[in-house]
Every structure is written in structure tokens, then in C-alpha cells.
Amino acid sequence: MMRRESTDIAVATKADAMIGESPIWSARHARLLWIDITGKQLHIYNPEDGTSEVVATPSSIGLLAQNPSGDIVLGLEDGLARLGADGEIERFAGAPHADPTFRFNDGKFDTYGRLWTGFMNRDGKKGGGILYRFDPDGTWHVADTGFDLPNGLEWSRDGRTFYFTDSHKGEIYAYDFNAVSGTIQNRRVFCSMDPSEGKPDGLTRDAEGHLLSVLFDSTAIARIVPDGSVERLIPLPVPRPTSCAFGGDGRTLFVTSARIGLSDAQLSDAPLFGSLLRLDYYDALR
């Protein structure tokens, strides 16, 4: 049975991000990092004192991910780059294919150091989205095709299932995942949502193995149990939340949001749009 729970939401960083996205916790830096895709900014939030640093990126940035060694990787318009120790952005790989109508959209590393990322069609061409795998040897591989808007991705707690989101279709897919070979197969619909009630966007997993799908245009996060049903909705004070990630304490959940497509009146009524939010996840489940 789906329930909508109320919870206390705080502002971690007040920002005006057009498309805030891809929050990740870096244990190495003890910081929460997130991006503004079209704003060309990397935000670095310090939860200890509440301060935030903003690093300008040379182009729009479609993904932010952390490899198993703790290196921070960014997906720029022309390829992949690392965030250096001095804050410099150092390119190290080209994009899967050179086409200005495509860009990265979300990505994560598996335990073997392979980057999985969606490549979306900027023109909204149906079925044009691609799921890619980037291997440590520098090679790109097409893992699957036919997506309208490839988005959030995650693995099951036992690592045997890979989940991938198509926001426009309102579907989250499950695949059998072979961690050794880095292959996926047996694609099936794991969870389906009516896009008119919110589009599944960023995806993460809690400590109990439930998936958290942030619903764009629905002011909520869907908590999905292992059978694919939505167990509850956790409400948010913004209409366009995009993604979420746990902080270093394992219970603070950070949520990014977007201002894109909202009217001046909407933005005036709710100045939190585009900010980084935080909540106590376990309090939200009580």
C-alpha cells in the first residue's frame, strides 16, 4: 500500500540551479558534491559548517560519479574528466560518439571500476537514448538501446541486478548483472509509473535494499520495495526534484532540484527550487 509520509526538510545549500543533479558523497573529501548541468557548475558542500564551494566547468556537465578508488569523474560535452586534487578539471577520455545532439545523463561506477551511463538525445527523439559502459581500459561499449530519456541507475544490494530508468516512459528496468564480465541481460520492467503523476529520475538504494526513485514533477521520492511496488512516497517542497544520495552518516539524504521550465510566478512562490535539500531518512520512515 502506497503512503505519503510527511517529514522535515531543510535547505543544505540555497542555490538557483537550472538542473541540479547527480549528488554523490565523497568520503575522501568529506563533502557532498552535485552539479548544475546547464549552469556549468560543480557544487561542493561541507556538512560540517554548511559552507559550499562552486567550481565552474568548461561545458555543460551531464554526469558526476565516483569510481571505487574515490576519484571524482565528470561527464562533459566532449568526454570524461577527473576532478584533480587542486580543483582542476582534467580530461582523460572522449565521449562515446561525437554528436552535438547527444549528451551524458547520469552515471555510476560498478565495483570493477566500469562506468555505466546514459547518453540522451537533446532533441527528444523517442528511442534515441543509449546505455553505455566505459571500461578501465578506455573502451566504450553499447550495453542497451531504445530509451526515450535514459536516467537514474543502481544495483541491487547483492550486486546481481542492475536497474536503469527511462524517465519519459515512466519505467525502471531490471537486468541480470554479471559483475565479473560486466554484462547485462534479460531486460524487464521492474517498476512502472504514470509519467503524468511524476517522472522517475535519479535512483539510489537504501541500506535495507529498497530503491529510492526521485519523481520529477511530483514533489516526492518513491520508495520501491524489492518486488517493484511503491511502498510509500516521501514528499518534498519542490515540484522538480531530480536525484538523491546519502551522506557519510548513512541517514542524511540529500536531494537536488531544478528550476528549468518553471514560470516566474512559480519560482517566486517557492524560492527553494534549484537548491540542495536534506532530510533525516529514518525519521521520514517513522
Sorted by where each begins, the domain ranges of the chain are 3-284
Higher pLDDT, 226 or 98: 226
With bands split at pLDDT 50, 70 and 90, how would you rate the model's confidence at 1? very low
With bands split at pLDDT 50, 70 and 90, how would you rate the model's confidence at 6? low
Q: Give the per-residue pLDDT at 76.
A: 97
**How far is Cα 269 from Cα 265, in angstroms, rounded to an integer?**
6
* Cβ-contact 242, 201 below 8 angstroms: yes
Catalogue the E-assigned strands of 110-170. 115-121, 129-134, 140-147, 150-155, 161-166
Q: Give the per-residue pLDDT at 215.
A: 97
Higher pLDDT, 272 or 282: 282
Task: Tell me the catalytic residues.
Answer: 201
Share of the chain above pLDDT 70, in %: 97
* Mean pLDDT of all residues in 33-50: 97
* Cβ-contact 54, 42 below 8 angstroms: yes
Best CATH choice for the domain 3-284 from the list 3.50.30.30, 3.40.50.2030, 2.120.10.30, 3.40.50.300: 2.120.10.30
241-246 sheet: strands from edge to edge: 10-13, 276-280, 252-257, 241-246
* Mean pLDDT of all residues in 158-177: 97
